[in-house]
Amino acid sequence: MPPPTDAVTVVYTDGSCLGNPGPGGWAWAVAGGPSDAGAEPGTTNQRMELTAVLRALETLPGPLRVVSDSTYVVNCFRQRWWEGWRRRGWRNTQGRPVANRDLWEPLLGLVLDDGRSVSFDWVKGHSGDPMNDLVDRLATEAAARIQTGRSGLGLGRPLP
């Protein structure tokens, strides 16, 4: 039986970069449900962290609880950094352009403007949380595959 439409889906996300910048991977996964991963040849860890969340929100319907080991992502929403960025014309507190604006803007649109509930929780990376460990492995594997030129990234594959 499918969950009720108002049930909150918990999705874990992670990004990885082999060198920073360098080949990078991103992943998201729902326990016992779908997952996805992808990679880019020349990127940064922060871009991959953002991409993982963006891809999860683009794919998964309904209310979401995003669990990430990225303070960059989680603090933006929990501490509402985005409000200052918008108020200052997409400038940070030092007056410089906000990094990764091309990813932040669509992500903010999905979190703030589409009428669904999205919350963010932080989990310590490499601390033994099984789902965080899983998305870390998927993101790292995606980055390694693109680094070696191998394909085989799955799309929306169910978890074992």
Question: Which contiguous run of DSSP H or E holds residue 46?
Answer: helix 45-59
8 Å CB contact between 25 and 146: yes
Cis peptide leading into residue 158 (ω within 30°): no
Catalytic residues: 14-15, 49, 69, 126, 136
H helix runs in 71-155, sequence order: 71-78, 81-87, 101-112, 130-148
Beta bridge partners of 40: 24
Angle among Cα 86, 87, 89 to the nearest 5 degrees reads 65
